[in-house]
Amino acid sequence: MATSTASLDILLVDDEPNIRRMMTLHLESRGHRVRAAASAGEAAAVSGERSFDVAFVDLRLGTESGLDLIPRLLAAAPGLKVVVITAYASVETAVEAMRRGAADYLEKPFTPAQIDLSLEKVTALSRLERKVQALEGHLAEADPAVDLDSASPAMQAALSLARQAAPGDARVLLRGESGTGKGVVAHAIHAWSPRRDRPFVTISCPALPAELLESELFGHVRGAFTGAGRDNLGRVAVAEGGTLLLDEIGDLPLALQPKLLRFIQDREYERVGDPTPRHADVRILAATNQALEPAVAAGRFREDLLYRLNVLTIEIPPLRERPQDLLPLARRFLAFFGRDYGKPGLTLAPSAERAILAHAWPGNVRELRNAVERAAMLAQGPEVGPELLMVKGTATATSPEPRGMEIGDLLPLAAVEEEHIKRVLARTSSLKEAAEVLGMDQATLWRRRKQYGM
């Protein structure tokens, strides 16, 4: 599809001659090519003869429905962007139009400026889709973050379980430390499922306070609260027909848990500020880096919600339990980032490989990826040495290992806390064990790790 400043081929479908005339004149004045149709049958025939970038479709076409025309047009041209125009706009109408494939809608009466704005929106959406498609193709070929090959028996077992779970609609709880790849496995479950052509939507439970998280999840209507200047469909509506990943579900506010439980049980929810019940066909996946059973015992997490989420549990092993994957992952990361930084052909020195094998990788695959990307960025020659990885065990014979931080050093307290947490994580086998050693709950430890970028 052309950019918003280029000439577009536009199909205009409306049974009102004045609307067709006004819109045709305006669009042609902007340099676009317009073909007008007065009925759904005429529009379908025209779309079979030539291709269009955008279609403006009236919802009421005499005795016919514009909603029924949308899938017919998209079947003929999957890249087409449909803008619904209607004098009977409502949230329900917009949702139904989006469900059938529309990209935007205009409420009559509209102005020429609104037509231009709608065109800008759908052309921007088309550009974004092309970028995403190109990026997905690039990642599928080169980015090891989405490469699920593993020589680790534990990881192979987790992936095998994910493949078995994918074809159905069973809820899956992905457990594992931060950075192990729970999100990647969730994406894989969606990609292996019959819902693969529908949206995959993620919502991060710790990212927002309870009241905003509810709005982000279930949506709100205009005026529901201060700052709600327009309707928000919510992530559940956006994920219609697809998959919704609830990331770090253990941090879901207690007040919101009954509403999520109701949605899981009945597929029914309400938007903030609107008591009208709504239904959605969405598969639920959840991920957590903390043990939920202690949270249940402490009253921070509902036991019935845990049972509903925990139809199938998949444990994603930490990287330290996947030693077979360390060097293959590091080499694939290096090949990827070497090309990304214009340094193809980078290799790991034997001493760098030994350093990788010696390090505990408390940040798991995410930490390894970051270390290798940094090394690729800083590399001056064809070989990456251990000093560029900046991890435990990277001192060289000519460069003695620097003295570690000690109690009493003239440093901010936060720096001491960060280093202590990092060392405890490196010497313990799980987030739970590290939290017990540090004397803090797992949620607090998770927030500290996020704060310090571990």
* pTM metric for this prediction: 0.59
Residue 408 is predicted with a pLDDT of 63
Average pLDDT, the chain: 84
Q: Is residue 30 part of a domain?
A: yes
Residue 402 is predicted with a pLDDT of 40
Do 310 and 447 sit in the same domain of this protein?
Answer: no
Tokens of 88: 């009977």
Q: Is residue 395 part of a domain?
A: no
CATH of the domain at 87: 3.40.50.2300
Do 40 and 119 sit in the same domain of this protein?
Answer: yes
Strands 54-58 and 9-13, sheet pairing? parallel
**Cβ-based neighbour number of residue 400 at 10 Å:** 8
Do 340 and 369 sit in the same domain of this protein?
Answer: yes
Do 374 and 311 sit in the same domain of this protein?
Answer: no
Q: Above 50 in pLDDT, residue 399?
A: no
The count of domains in the chain is 4
Tens of pLDDT along 324-381?
999 999 999 999 899 888 998 999 999 999 999 999 999 999 899 999 999 999 999 9
Do 183 and 242 sit in the same domain of this protein?
Answer: yes
Among the candidates 302, 317, 332, a domain finishes at: 317
User: What is the pLDDT averaged over residues 387-401?
Assistant: 56
Do 220 and 276 sit in the same domain of this protein?
Answer: yes
Q: Are the CB atoms for 176 and 315 separated by under 8 Å? A: yes
Which amino acid, one-letter code, is at 334? Answer: L
Tokens of 114: 């609104």
Residue 244 is predicted with a pLDDT of 95
Most confident of 88-92, 96-100, 136-140, 182-186: 182-186
Q: Above 80 in pLDDT, residue 155?
A: yes
Q: Is residue 145 part of a domain?
A: no
Q: Is residue 142 part of a domain?
A: no
Do 162 and 301 sit in the same domain of this protein?
Answer: yes
Task: Tell me how far apart the alpha carbons of residues 216 and 299 are, in angstroms, rounded to a whole number.
Answer: 24
CATH of the domain at 242: 3.40.50.300
Among the candidates 86, 102, 133, a domain finishes at: 133
Which amino acid, one-letter code, is at 73? Answer: L
CATH of the domain at 377: 1.10.8.60
Q: Is residue 407 part of a domain?
A: no
Do 288 and 160 sit in the same domain of this protein?
Answer: yes
Do 200 and 161 sit in the same domain of this protein?
Answer: yes
Tens of pLDDT along 195-239?
988 889 999 888 777 778 998 899 888 787 777 777 788 889 888
Say what percent of the chain tops pLDDT 70: 87
Band (pLDDT 50/70/90 cuts) for residue 130 is low
Q: Above 90 in pLDDT, residue 144?
A: no
Band (pLDDT 50/70/90 cuts) for residue 194 is very high
Residue 132 is predicted with a pLDDT of 61
Task: Tell me how far apart the alpha carbons of residues 410 and 15 are, in angstroms, rounded to a whole number.
Answer: 78
Cα angle, residue 151 at apex, residues 149 and 157 outer, rounded to 5°: 80
Instruction: Sheet containing 104-107: give its strands across.
Output: 33-37, 9-13, 54-58, 81-86, 104-107
Q: Is residue 140 part of a domain?
A: no
CA 234, 238, 239, 240: dihedral to nearest 10 degrees? 110
Do 326 and 313 sit in the same domain of this protein?
Answer: no
Do 330 and 380 sit in the same domain of this protein?
Answer: yes
Tens of pLDDT along 260-304?
999 999 999 998 888 888 888 999 999 999 889 999 999 999 999
Among the candidates 317, 346, 373, a domain finishes at: 317
> What residues make up the domain containing 423?
413-452
Residue 138 is predicted with a pLDDT of 45
Residue 145 is predicted with a pLDDT of 52
Do 267 and 123 sit in the same domain of this protein?
Answer: no
Q: Is residue 394 part of a domain?
A: no
Q: Is residue 260 part of a domain?
A: yes
User: What is the pLDDT averaged over residues 110-137?
Assistant: 77
